Amino acid sequence: MVKQIINTPDAPSPIGPYSQAVKVGDWIFLSGQIPINPTTGELNISSIEVEAKQVMENLKAVLKEANATFDSVVKTNIYLSDMDFFSTVNEVYGSYFTKDFPARETLAVKTLPKNVNVEISMIAIASK
């Protein structure tokens, strides 16, 4: 199988040696996104709700570039700086899905890149 690198200017450029996503066959592996505004390159961190929305918008852009949607997502990993943010992030996250929710885990971690409060990665299947 051939590995295809997915990158879009509509999501933040990687801040390290990784790609926004990698597609292998029908599988799309999306790297974790943090709340960086892709237009300005600045963190969008005025509230946990704003952070979560920016992360989901970044993931949406990468999915679109890979010819997929949130309906294509089969697995997500959510990382939080504090479990007190769970309900707010869960509400924002849930608003991007309509049915057949993906498998998921949510973890609290000590520190996230650039000291943000939320990072989300995904695995999806390409739309036919």
> What pLDDT is attached to residue 109?
97
* CA-closest candidate to residue 89, choices 98, 76, 75: 76
Q: Structural domain tally of the chain?
A: 1
The residue segments making up the domain with residue 78 are: 3-125
**Would you write out the chain's pLDDT as a tens digit for each of its 128 residues?**
799 999 999 999 998 999 999 999 999 999 999 999 999 999 999 999 999 999 999 999 999 999 999 999 999 999 999 999 999 999 999 999 998 999 999 999 999 999 999 999 999 999 76
Q: How far apart are the first and last CA of the chain?
A: 17
Q: What is the pTM of this model?
A: 0.96
Closest-CA residue to 102 (of 51, 44, 49, 63)? 63
Looking at residue 128, its pLDDT comes to 64
Contact 122, 58 (CB under 8 A): no
Neighbouring C-beta atoms of residue 19, cutoff 10 Å: 16
Q: Give the pLDDT confidence score for residue 127 in this predicted structure.
A: 75
For residue 77, the domain's CATH number is: 3.30.1330.40
